[in-house]
Amino acid sequence: MSADSSVLVSRARAGDGDAFRELTEPHRRELQVHCYRMLGSVQDAEDAVQETLLSAWRALGGFVEDRASLRTWLYRIATNRCLNALRAASRRPATPWDVPRVEPPEPTRLGEVPWLEPWPDALLGAAPGGPPGPEARYEQTEAISLAFVTALQLLPPRQIAVLVLRDVLGFSAREVAGMLDSTVESVTSALKRARAGLRDRRPAGPDQAPPPTAGSPAEEAIVARFVHAWESADVDALVALLTDDVLVSMPPMPFEYEGREAAAGFSASIFRSGRRFDLVPTRANGQPAFGAYLRAPTGVRHGTGLYVLTLSGDRIRAMTRFENSVLPWFGLPRSLPVRAAPGSRVRDRGSAGGTAVSRPATGGSPTGRGPR
């Protein structure tokens, strides 16, 4: 720890809240992403980080600089907060179908992760702690993808923690054992089981290809075709973009539709009765995403949710719809005004993509929010 940091620690131990914030604020964003990976929920991750910082503030007297870095110590607290949340089993329950005037077809199956929420790309950024350790096995873009985060949620809590700390962040087995009050042997065994479980939950399909690079012409081409098909309510054009094993899901509603035929039936139900939409682009989990706005007879367009695309080569492998309440996280409005007349220079608000807005922090504690 640098001399400046040691001074800040001393000041914080003496009750200086500004010094504590200066110490911990550089780590807040990466802790949020870490908790999101473990919990799958933006709101639960923010709560876990607030609890982590409050615990760190109270326990700062027990922090020994010679034994661990501040970053490692904060990860220890955050990981155990997340484990407590996972073991409490108080996750957001599934909700019934809530799309007015739309009768959904029979789903292929019911999903297991109704609490899943999308993470705004604008809240990713570069980790202040630097690149992952040398033992990390995942690229950071893959490790924030919806498919990866979803698969993690299906593992036992301890396996989630070990896999994220070892294979995503690159902490050593010894460091992880210290964080979890365990042994290197126990951590190694849990990691082996977690890797096997993740392989079982993320099988590589016969037509699975890596996604195109974000922002590349290849990605832009498939996104443009999707937007045209969706805004035109062209089910055939939409289905032509899908892989054979495409999966359509919509947490917190548990309905899942697997395969082109099932996806076509779901899409047709959405467009039935002349329902038409405009899409506003953004990005979530390192993937293309869109705020969807239903055109009303008055000309105003009302938000109906956020769609996130998982791409495989030049096809769409998954389409995940999230409820309307997540739109503000992406800087997207709940509704769009009447479309401007042709030739007007007025553009839809957010039409170039939203800027993510995190939940506001309030309160007088050094964590940025008082205890709940």
User: How far is residue 153's CA from residue 120's CA, in Å, rounded to a whole number?
Assistant: 19
Residue 274 belongs to what domain range? 217-336
User: How far is residue 105's CA from residue 111's CA, in Å, rounded to a whole number?
Assistant: 15
Domain-located, residue 368: no
What DSSP letter does each residue of 94-124 carry, written as one string?
P-----TT--PPPPSEE-S-TT----BGGGT
Q: For the chain, what's the residue count?
A: 372
For tokens 């990691």, name the residue: 191
User: How far is residue 145's CA from residue 150's CA, in Å, rounded to a whole number?
Assistant: 8
CATH number reported for the structural domain that contains residue 306 in this entry = 3.10.450.50
CATH number reported for the structural domain that contains residue 24 in this entry = 1.10.1740.10
Domain-located, residue 152: no
* Long-range own/partner contacts, residues 363-366 (CB < 8 A, 24 or more apart): 365/17, 365/54, 365/57, 366/12, 366/17, 366/18, 366/20, 366/21, 366/53, 366/57
Is 131's pLDDT higher than 80? no
Domain-located, residue 181: no
Domain-located, residue 205: no
What are the pLDDT digits (tens) for 250-269? 999 999 999 999 999 999 99
What are the pLDDT digits (tens) for 266-282? 999 999 888 999 999 99
What are the pLDDT digits (tens) for 74-113? 999 999 999 999 998 677 889 998 887 788 899 999 999 9
364: pLDDT confidence band, cut at 50, 70 and 90? very low
User: How far is residue 209's CA from residue 211's CA, in Å, rounded to a whole number?
Assistant: 6
368: pLDDT confidence band, cut at 50, 70 and 90? low
CB within 8 Å of 239: residues ≥ 6 apart: 260, 263, 264, 267
What DSSP letter does each residue of 151-210 carry, written as one string?
HHHTS-HHHHHHHIIIIIT---HHHHHHHTT--HHHHHHHHHHHHHHHHHHS---TT--P
Domain-located, residue 77: yes
Kindly report which listed range (56-60, 64-68, 270-274, 365-369) carries the lowest average pLDDT score: 365-369
Domain-located, residue 329: yes
CB of 168 closer than 8 Å to CB of 176: no
Could you give the number of structural domains in the chain?
2
Domain edge (last residue) among 75, 91, 107: 91
Q: Which two tokens stand for residue 173?
A: 């087995």
Domain-located, residue 308: yes
342: cis peptide before it, omega within 30°?
A: no
178: pLDDT confidence band, cut at 50, 70 and 90? very high
Mean pLDDT of 49-75: 89
Domain edge (last residue) among 91, 108, 132: 91
What are the pLDDT digits (tens) for 8-39? 989 999 999 999 999 999 999 999 999 999 99
Domain edge (last residue) among 41, 57, 91: 91
Alpha carbon of 119 to those of 170, 230, 337, 360: distances in Å? 22, 23, 26, 16
Domain-located, residue 270: yes
Mean pLDDT of 120-127: 79
